[in-house]
Structure 1
Amino acid sequence: MALKDWISRIRGKAPEPPPPPEAPLTTAPGQLPGPEAPQGAPTMPPPASPGIPVPPVPVPPPYTTPSPQARIGTVAEPPAEILPPAEDDAALREVEAAEAEAEAAAETEEAEPEREPQPEAPAVLPAEAEEAARTGWFSRLRTGLSRSTARLTDSVTSLFRKRRLDEEALEELEETLIAADLGVAAAHRIVEGFRRTRFGKEVTDEEVKAALAEEIAAILAPVAAPMPIEPARSPHVVLVVGVNGTGKTTTIAKLGQQYREAGLRCAFVAGDTFRAAAVEQLQIWGDRTGARVHAPVKEGADAAGLAFDALTAARADGTQVLLVDTAGRLHNKSALMEELRKVIRVMRRVDPEAPHSVLLVLDATTGQNALQQVKVFKEMVAVTGLAVTKLDGSAKGGVVVALAQEFGLPVHFVGVGEKAADLRPFTARDYARGLVGLP
């Protein structure tokens, strides 16, 4: 109200008083009301007392019908000059809005104290981002190797609680390493290293673990190498082989997703034509990653013919990486060998150097049986590298050390989970420290 009175004073007029309440009408609409009848009995003058003069009774004036305005009430005064409604409302709204903003600003200043300016977060450098990614992968690797680590380190801890490293201790250490699937050759090499450097000294379990990590890393370092991909070949053909159940198809799908994320055009060949689940799995991953899938028209189709058609199409559409799945029926060794040789022979009609990589996928849960699989597949095809999967479900992670010592084949990838990010390039130091449980 104070704001409106102030506006009225600016305009030069006083606020109008509220109109008096109207008298209720008792007559029908359109008719003038008649005179009101006197209420009650007429009042008579008191009788005159003797000797007192009586004043004359005034005679009322003759009755005249009042005008309608007199009957309704006071005649309304002509309204004072006011601003046009649109201008008045606009001015009122403008003043009210300004006052509301001022009040809101005052309340905000009272409710929230003034904040000190916060320094800007430093930008993440590429090296820091790479270190964070490596740390996250090492954590997953250690978690995946936890069962293998427990199998190895529990024995080491029980053997070396402030103990002299004599011949008996070294023999027990060698037996422990062999039981942890590191293999006879690798175990003997590690024990000989201990004999040269620490024989006769008192050692603790932590010192033994650190020395083990160094010896294992020395064995693994020569075979830790990423699989080379040459997109300029258009395509670089990767033939993926292995026994059924080792994870060939899943490994192909994970590699395809990683190559696609790296900006490479990738395609899959569902060459395990006798296993419908493998074809369907690749088609699902193809839909997820946007990779083309070359699938057989029917179950049991010729895998060599499919590989020929896929390579021809890949060269035509500019595919940079072609991942070829294969069968893994090792129980029929001669038939599988002939099929793989035929696939390679037919692809070389299109590209004389194909396949450019032959990746053998091994299941870590098979332990020492993985060494026999490597021997068999090396007889069939020229294996160029290994991928070891399912380390997260195995207590036999030491078999990677045995493979490195026995064959010296490059270990390109290790897998510790089902996600695409859980298949990563193999690094010797991280694997060695994760295997013995060191940070």
Structure 2
Amino acid sequence: MASLPSSSSLQQLPYRTPLTLLSPVSDNFVNLPISNWLRRSRFKCSAGQTGFFGKLGRLIKEKAKNDVEKLFSGFTKTRNKLAVIDELLLYWNLSDTDRVLDELEEALLVSDFGPRITMKIVESLRDDIYAGRLKTGNEIKDALKRGILELLAKAPKTELRLGFRKPAVVMIVGVNGGGKTTSLGKLANRLKNEGAKILLAAGDTFRAAASDQLEIWAERTGCDIVVAEKEKTKASSVLSQAIKRGKEQGVDVVLCDTSGRLHTNYSLMEELVACKKTISKIIPGAPNEILLVLDGTTGLNMLPQAREFNEVVGVTGVILTKLDGSARGGCVVSVVDELGIPVKFVGVGEGIDDLQPFDAETFVDAIFS
């Protein structure tokens, strides 16, 4: 196990060229380090999301809209499952409505939109068709897409909410095998590429190879890392060391890995509560984000996990992984509708750049193109 680095050994990674930006508190100008891209784009941040962090979160989301090819490719299997809808609507006529809607319902269920969502969408379409508000197959498809967007609007804040105080702290939680540590590494890479200084905290002290895996990601992304000095170190202790080090070193974001655990394991879930309390003692109001990593291949089976994690630690966002290998893309809508938690990132491939910020309109276009 690697030893905990000293303060002096942590590499000072310089920001890109400083840029004058509006202060989050007043109209005075202050010098804040940020990526060169922002030289050409200055915009206000939403409440509670100020300065560098607000612009960082919005930049990531804006770039995602310009990188839709990966998202479209990642949802190929779901899109292929739903392609039957186009075939159904191509020759639709009013007398054939019930049969077409029954088959549309089946297509949505197979893609894991869930019974409640599916019935709500289908019955709304049925009412509009028989009321004469939808008269063509294209109108029905457009109404279907609008209905899904309305459901996703229940949790609209899909950008990272990193507050205004450095370092921002993000906890990554989830069950074993869901892609938690890999998602953390990919998120570190994305933030680092936008000019943020990142510190990784190896808080998974339960799994033997977890720290080694995260150290590989630290090397791969060029980020510093804090690991336990010895075996059986408490996760909260590692996170405490990392956050204190982050404050000393002027780090922008501390990404905290945690041990994977079954949502039914009470003692391990309580450990997450202890980690959260430790973080908030050092930085009031932190962690800024608690991101739950869910395996997209499990479909609707992920919902009990999400409910339990949310009840215990208060999940602020979801990362859905492995969606490129699944035809269950409808689970994205189920998570938002059932829990009211925004999906913030989706994993659509194995590459380091394949963790994509979630955008509702792009998602709907990707599965119903």
Per the normalisation by structure 1, the TM-score is 0.65
Other structure's SS at 1:419 match: coil
Closer, same or farther in 2 for the Cα pair 1:342/1:199, shift >3 Å?
same
Distance in 2 between the 1:163 and 1:273 partners? 60
1:304-333 Cα deviation digits (max 9, x unpaired): 111111111111111110110111220761
Instruction: Find the aligned partners of 1:143 and 1:203 in 2 and give their Cα distance.
Output: 32
**8 Å Cα contact 1:156/1:176 also seen in 2:** no
For residues 350 and 135 of structure 1, do their structure 2 counterparts lie closer, same or farther at Cα, with a shift above 3 Å needed?
closer
Of the three residues 152, 160, 167, the one matched with 2:82 is 152
Task: Look up the SS of the partner of 1:349 in the other structure.
Answer: helix
Q: Distance in 2 between matches of 1:366 and 1:320?
A: 34
Q: Which deviations, in whole Å up to 9, do the C-alpha atoms of 1:176-219 show, x marking residues without a partner? A: 32222111222122113312322377977655444322322222
Identical residues among aligned pairs (%): 39
Q: Say which SS state the counterpart of residue 251 (structure 1) adopts.
A: helix
The change in CA–CA distance for 1:209 and 1:420 in structure 2 (over 3 A counts) is farther
* 1:10-64: CA deviation from partner (whole Å, max 9, x where unpaired): xxxxxxxxxxxxxxxxxxxxxxxxxxxxxxxxxxxxxxxxxxxxxxxxxxxxxxx
Instruction: Pick one of 180, 196, 203 that aligns with 2:111.
Output: 180
Alpha-carbon distance in 1 for matches of 2:110, 2:102: 12
Query: 1:180 and 1:322, CA in 2 relative to 1: closer, same or farther beyond 3 A?
Result: same
2-structure distance, mates of 1:349, 1:180: 43
Contact 1:274 1:299 in 2 (8 A): no
Match of 2:186 in 1: 254
Q: Which residue of 2 aligns with 1:422?
A: 354
Gaps of 5+ in 1: 1-125
* Residue ranges of structure 2 left out of the alignment (5+ in a row): 1-39, 42-59
When structure 1 is superposed on structure 2, of 200-209 and 365-374 the one drifting more is 200-209
Segments ≥4 residues shifted beyond 6 Å: 200-204
Query: What does residue 101 of structure 2 align with?
Result: 170
SS in 2 for 1:239: strand
Residue 198 (structure 2) pairs with residue 278 (structure 1): no
For residue 120 of structure 2, what is the amino acid of its counterpart? R
Partner of 2:293: 361
Q: Deviations over 1:117-149 (max 9, x none)?
A: xxxxxxxxx79xx9x966762222111111111
What is the correspondence of 1:301-380 to structure 2 with a 5 Å cutoff? 301-330=233-262, 333-380=265-312
Task: Please show how residues 41-56 of structure 1 align to structure 2 within 5 Å.
Answer: none
Give distance in 1, aligned partners of 2:343 and 2:293: 10
In structure 2, what residue type is equivalent to 1:381? V
- Give the CA deviation at 1:162: 2.9
Higher RCO (C-alpha 8 Å, min separation 6): 2
Q: For the Cα contact (< 8 Å) 2:170–2:287, is it kept in 1?
A: yes
The structure number with the bigger radius of gyration is 1
- Residue 238 of structure 1 deviates from its aligned partner by 0.6
Q: 1: CA distance between counterparts of 2:263 and 2:224?
A: 31
1:201-240 matches, within 5 Å, as 208-224=140-156, 225-230=158-163, 232-240=164-172
1:403 aligns with 2:335: yes
Number of aligned positions between the proteins: 310
**Mean Cα deviation higher: 327-336 or 352-361:** 327-336
Partner SS, residue 209 of structure 2: helix
Match of 2:225 in 1: 293
Instruction: Indicate if the aligned counterparts of 1:185 and 1:405 stay in contact, CA closer than 8 A.
Output: no
**Contact residue 89 and residue 138 of structure 2 kept, 8 A:** no
